[in-house]
Structure 1
Amino acid sequence: MEGLPTTTTTKADRRWRSKPLQTSKPSLLLAFLSCVAWLYIAGRLWQDAENRTVLANLLKKNSEQRPKVLTVEDKLMVLGCKDLERRIVEVEMELTLAKSQGYLKNQLQQSGSLSEQKLLAVIGVYTGFGGRLTRNTFRGSWMPKGDALKKLEERGVVIRFVIGRSANRGDSLDRNIDEENRATKDFLFLEGHEEAQEELPKKAKYFFITAFQNWDAEFYVKVDDNIDVDLEGLIGLLEKRRGQDGAYIGCMKSGEVVSEEGRPWYEPDWWKFGDEKSYFRHAAGSLIILSKNLVQYISVNSASLKTYAHDDISVGSWMMGVQATHIDDNRLCCSSIRQDKVCSVA
């Protein structure tokens, strides 16, 4: 029939129309997994942000409630002690400098006249709480007392009984010694030393330090409590040595190091003295003389100086490390039979 349009479809067009549009399954799966991953990551990021916000709020709240921790400097500022702290540091520095120069700025002085002259010697005689009878014997024999003691000091020689303090400070032992000293005025108290047998090795250190702080002398002499002294002979010996620095004078000896605990003179540090178990040469403890510069060394370095079981060994060990001149004088061997000795066993 003419006049009507005729539509002609090809075989290929019919095939295209008969099949719907399709997407491959792998692509759909990949898209789905991508969406899931994105949602998971977004959720975690949101969760982390929430957690950080909560933690920040908790920290801020706790910091506001927690009391402020003051440093030491803050406390000093609050208490108004900053200036005091500075002054303490300055005083400690001055004290260290004074010790290194061989004197203390505020020395204890037994007598105003003594501060203006350099003495020949300070002689310290060991004693104990139970030694009153011995002390009275010494005062009636070789050791001056009363006005004679003062006249001896005018000659440049100071003699004192040396004693520490009781383990129970202020007890009857201390009070009795204080009372005796008020009558005789011939004691040197070692305030930092406890007067006990087991503390005896430290007594020499305390004696030399205390004597050095109290008197300026050429020599410092330690004497045991069982020794009689020819005082004029000792003074003459020291006069000839006047001006000699580094003098370590005494009856030099050595001897066996006792390593068996329980035996007399046991040395706990015996192993330090070698396989021969023999002490180094040192002045016998009965009478030891040190020149001023050696005592100054002990005073300045006292905190680092070791004491052994015996005080004479301790002093000898200190002298091993300095430029000390060991002077062996047989006149100071108190147990010898020499006629010109200056000391003897009481």
Structure 2
Amino acid sequence: MCVMVSPMQPDTESKKMRGKAVPGKAIVLLCIASFLAGTLFTSQTWRRHKSEVQEQVALIPAHVKAKKLQATAMAKNVDHNKRILVEGKSGDIMGEVAKTHQAIQSLDKKISALEMELAVARTSQADPEITGEKASNHTLQKAFVVVGINTAFSSRRRRESVRETWMPQGEKLKKLEQEKGIVIRFVIGHSATPGGVLDKTIDAEEAEYDDFLRLNHVEGYHELSTKTRLYFSTAVSLWNAEFYMKIDDDVHLNLGTLVTSLARYRSKPRIYIGCMKSGPVLSQKGVKYHEPEYWKFGEEGNKYFRHATGQIYAISRDLATYISINAPILHRYANEDVSLGAWLFGLEVEHVDDRSMCCGTPPDCEWKSQAGNVCVASFDWSCSGICKSVERMKDIHDSCGEGDAAVWNVDL
């Protein structure tokens, strides 16, 4: 219920409830004091927050700042190098690039060589077929090239014709190994009856000349692929050479020209050098060079892949070591040169087609020699070697030889 009160007669109790009026000045002063107090509080809080932030900044790891400084320095260095490249001569730049490329090639070869040496050391210890000149438990003799002359029991006269022409004998042969790193050996196995007449004949010849590499291998024309495989395996177990070469005993060779030619490729780890060819795959039985596995090379009438002709070729140490390591699983075709080409065909190998390794006999090699292009090797394609080599080797040496002093003047 509302009580009506007359404005002219204020209620007594209402008057009692009212307080005294607050002056306006007091209100203004109170507001100012409140403002100042708030400002003071805010200022102190901000200073404390700022101090905490500064302390946190001070705790940033020193290595972060160091990395920033390093990055700045690197950026300046890059800019400096750019200015050098821009301002420098193009010849100088190309020279530095060439040096870098050579250094990389050299390093790649050294690494590859170390890996191969480790692998062949393990293989030579485990392979009982590698025999000969103390193939195990000895330090490998360093050499530039090992020249293996493939020969047979019936080839005594051929060997004599080689010894009388391009191959040094006795002390000269040893001196060639010691001073030039050129090792030359006639490569032969043993007969089907070890210790028989044929083997004793070779024993006597070896005692006279000391220029054989004997293999644990049964000699036979149809076993040439096996003999080649074992030759490389044995050679890398005896000599730490840069190159390993195979040549037939009815081919004329100029040693100085050979070494000069090989030296051009010594910076490359996987080199296969020879006269590259791609002859037909012969499927007819009874013909020379018949390939029983002709069907593997496609339709009849196809040709082989490129490979070096078998009279002479050379491979670098890494490839010879590869053959040694993988000998048990390397397939042997009827033709020895095809087999070697097959072993290397699927690898990262540089094939070098050097036509100076397959010059003809006089007048071909004679004309080239007179023109200053001395041949590495000479033979007749029609005979797969020098026709009647025993009778003709001396004349070819006189007409196409480089001179006996040439090999001694080569600086490796």
Q: Which band: TM-score by shorter chain?
A: 0.5 to 0.7
Question: 1:201 aligned to 207, 221, 225, which one?
Answer: 225
Q: Structure 1, residues 11-59: CA drift from partner, whole Å, max 9, x if none?
A: xxxxxxxxxxxxxxxxxxxxxxxxxxxxxxxxxxxxxxxxxxxxxxxxx
Question: 1:133 aligned to 157, 160, 165, which one?
Answer: 157
For residue 172 of structure 2, what is the aligned residue in structure 1?
Answer: 148
Measured in 1, the distance between the counterparts of 2:141 and 2:325 equals 22
1:104-143 → structure 2 map (5 Å cutoff): 104=122, 115=139, 118-143=142-167
Question: 2:307 aligned to 279, 282, 305, which one?
Answer: 282
Question: 2:328 aligned to 299, 303, 321, which one?
Answer: 303
2:287 equivalent to 1:263: yes
Q: Structure 1, residues 292-346: CA drift from partner, whole Å, max 9, x if none?
A: 0001100000000001011100000001121111111111124373523211123
Question: 2:119 aligned to 101, 109, 127, which one?
Answer: 101
SS at match of 1:176: helix
Q: Which consecutive unaligned segments of at least 5 residues does structure 2 have?
A: 1-114, 126-130, 369-373, 380-385, 387-412
For residue 344 of structure 1, what is the aligned residue in structure 2?
Answer: 378
Q: How far apart are 1:108 and its partner, in Å? A: 6.9
1:152-163 → structure 2 map (5 Å cutoff): 152-154=176-178, 155-163=180-188
Q: Conserved in 2, the CA contact under 8 Å of 1:257 and 1:279?
A: yes
1:46-85 → structure 2 map (5 Å cutoff): none
- The amino acid that maps onto 2:251 is I
Give the helix-richer structure, 1 or 2. 2
Q: How far apart are 1:103 and its partner, in Å? A: 2.6
Measured in 2, the distance between the counterparts of 1:341 and 1:164 equals 30
Q: Structure 1, residues 194-220: CA drift from partner, whole Å, max 9, x if none?
A: 111121222110111111111110000
Q: How far apart are 1:277 and its partner, in Å? A: 1.8
2:190 equivalent to 1:168: no
Q: Conserved in 2, the CA contact under 8 Å of 1:219 and 1:289?
A: yes
2:359 equivalent to 1:325: no
For residue 273 of structure 1, what is the aligned residue in structure 2?
Answer: 297
Q: Choose 159-168 or 229-238, whichever is displaced more.
A: 229-238
Measured in 1, the distance between the counterparts of 2:232 and 2:212 equals 14
Measured in 1, the distance between the counterparts of 2:323 and 2:233 equals 7
Q: Structure 1, residues 214-249: CA drift from partner, whole Å, max 9, x if none?
A: 111000000012101011111111222223211001
Measured in 2, the distance between the counterparts of 1:331 and 1:288 equals 11
Measured in 2, the distance between the counterparts of 1:273 and 1:259 equals 10
1:32-47 → structure 2 map (5 Å cutoff): none
Q: Which consecutive unaligned segments of at least 5 residues does structure 1 have?
A: 1-96
SS at match of 1:301: helix
Measured in 2, the distance between the counterparts of 1:274 and 1:218 equals 36
**CA distance 1:277–1:117, change in 2 (3 Å):** same
For residue 235 of structure 2, what is the aligned residue in structure 1?
Answer: 211
Q: How far apart are 1:120 and its partner, in Å? A: 0.5
Q: Conserved in 1, the CA contact under 8 Å of 2:132 and 2:215?
A: no
Which runs of structure 1 show a deviation greater than 4 angstroms over 4 or more consecutive aligned residues? Answer: 97-100, 104-111, 114-117
Measured in 1, the distance between the counterparts of 2:167 and 2:116 equals 34
For residue 246 of structure 1, what is the aligned residue in structure 2?
Answer: 270
State the TM-score, normalized to the length of structure 2. Answer: 0.57
2:206 equivalent to 1:188: no
SS at match of 1:283: strand
- The amino acid that maps onto 1:342 is V
SS at match of 1:101: helix
Kindly tell me the number of residue pairs found equivalent between the two proteins.
247
Measured in 1, the distance between the counterparts of 2:293 and 2:304 equals 11
- The amino acid that maps onto 1:103 is A
Q: Conserved in 1, the CA contact under 8 Å of 2:116 and 2:321?
A: no
State the TM-score, normalized to the length of structure 1. Answer: 0.67
- The amino acid that maps onto 1:331 is S
2:292 equivalent to 1:292: no
Q: How far apart are 1:102 and its partner, in Å? A: 3.1
Q: Conserved in 2, the CA contact under 8 Å of 1:307 and 1:314?
A: yes
**CA distance 1:303–1:117, change in 2 (3 Å):** closer
**RMSD over aligned Cα, in angstroms?**
2.3
SS at match of 2:222: helix
Q: Conserved in 1, the CA contact under 8 Å of 2:272 and 2:316?
A: yes
SS at match of 1:168: coil
**CA distance 1:302–1:131, change in 2 (3 Å):** same
- The amino acid that maps onto 1:289 is A
**CA distance 1:115–1:235, change in 2 (3 Å):** farther
- The amino acid that maps onto 2:204 is E
**CA distance 1:117–1:201, change in 2 (3 Å):** closer
Q: Conserved in 2, the CA contact under 8 Å of 1:306 and 1:314?
A: yes
